[in-house]
Structure formats: C-alpha cells, structure tokens
C-alpha cells in the first residue's frame, strides 16, 4: 500500500510503486481533471502540483511522491473561485478544454513564484501545449489573475 496526500486528504492505494501518479489519480482516486496527453511529460495536460511545484503526473512514479502533498485541479477550489480559474473564464481561454486543467495548474505555480510576471516570464514558464492555440488568451488570463492591469 502506498499512502498519498492528495488535495489535503490521505489515501492508501494498492498499486505498483512505478505506476504513474496520473493513473493513480484518475483510476484509483477518481480525480479525472488531470488529463493524459502524451505520456512522456511533454504536453502538460497532466500537470499537478507536488509540494507546490508543477509536475507532469504522467511521468512521476507514485512511489516518488512519498510524503509530498499533491494538489490537483479538483483541489484548487471547490467552486472555481480561484483567481486563475476566474480569469480563465473571463478571457474565455478554453476552446476544446482538454489541456486547460494542466494549463491552469502551471499558471498557478507561475504566479506563486512570480506574482507579477512579464510576458517573457509567462512564455518561459507556460510550456504546456494547447492544440487549439489559445496562448494569447492564456497570457491575458495570467495577467488578469496577477492584477497586472493588462488584457
């Protein structure tokens, strides 16, 4: 059994130690907000926070999480009231929406590190792939969530 702290709750899961965290979140815990995109930590659809740091859950073995605290999109806010979620809605960022939970989690981590990011900061930190190409809306939403006065 492996113990995990996910969204402030302790879970015990009976999985192989090398099972990717993403599969444990989705299949064992029913937290399906984090998506499978590429399986090689490139696209970012599966981004979650591990001790406050963005991680691509498809490439993190569950045993590597240890005592760390995992935060998923479901744990960000119960009612979509997080400033980044509100900004995402205000700027109508999602088109298909598949990558958006990962994009939001990456943006939250960026803002925790740099509360007033520049365009260059955003471009450097937001490496998640969006096939719909909503990158300009992502940038605008991050500026709004940061209170940068930009749109």
The pair phi, psi for residue 3, each rounded to 5°, is: -95, 135
Residue 149 pLDDT more than 90? Answer: no
pLDDT for the residue 78 = 86
Count of domains in the chain?
Answer: 2
Give the CATH number for residue 72. Answer: 3.10.20.30
Give, as one character, the DSSP assignment of residue 57. G
Q: What percent of the chain has pLDDT over 90?
A: 94
The DSSP line for 31-46 is --SS--S-SSSSS-TT
138 with 105, same domain: the answer is yes
Give the CATH number for residue 130. Answer: 1.10.150.120
Distance of CA 10 to the CA centre of its chain: 20
Is residue 58 left, alpha or beta, with left meaning phi > 0 and alpha meaning psi from -120 to 50?
alpha
pLDDT for the residue 68 = 97
Model pTM above 0.85: yes
Task: Return mean pLDDT, the chain.
Answer: 95
Give the residue carrying structure tokens 């240890």.
66
52 with 14, same domain: the answer is yes
* pLDDT tens profile 46-96: 999 999 999 999 999 999 999 999 999 999 998 999 999 999 999 999 999
Residue 151 lies in a domain: no
72 with 6, same domain: the answer is yes
Residue 148 pLDDT more than 90? Answer: no
> Which residues face 20 on adjacent strands?
61
Residue 124 pLDDT more than 70? Answer: yes
Domain boundary among 76, 109, 126: 76
63 with 106, same domain: the answer is no
Domain boundary among 52, 76, 100: 76
Count of alpha carbons within 13 angstroms of residue 77, beta-carbon side: 11
Q: Which domain holds residue 124?
A: 83-146
């Amino acid at each position: 059994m492996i113990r995990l702290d996910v969204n402030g709750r302790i879970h015990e899961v009976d999985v192989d130690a090398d099972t990717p965290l993403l599969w444990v979140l989705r299949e064992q815990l029913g937290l399906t907000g984090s998506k499978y995109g590429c399986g090689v930590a490139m696209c970012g659809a599966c981004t979650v926070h591990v001790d406050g740091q963005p991680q691509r859950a498809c490439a993190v073995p569950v045993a590597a999480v240890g005592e760390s605290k995992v935060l998923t999109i479901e744990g960000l806010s119960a009612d979509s009231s997080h400033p980044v979620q509100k900004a995402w809605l205000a700027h109508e960022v999602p088109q298909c929406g598949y990558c958006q939970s990962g994009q939001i989690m990456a943006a939250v981590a960026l803002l925790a590190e740099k509360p007033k990011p520049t365009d260059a900061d955003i471009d450097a930190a937001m490496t998640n792939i969006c096939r719909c190409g909503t990158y300009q809306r992502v940038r605008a939403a991050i500026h709004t969530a940061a209170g940068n006065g930009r749109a």
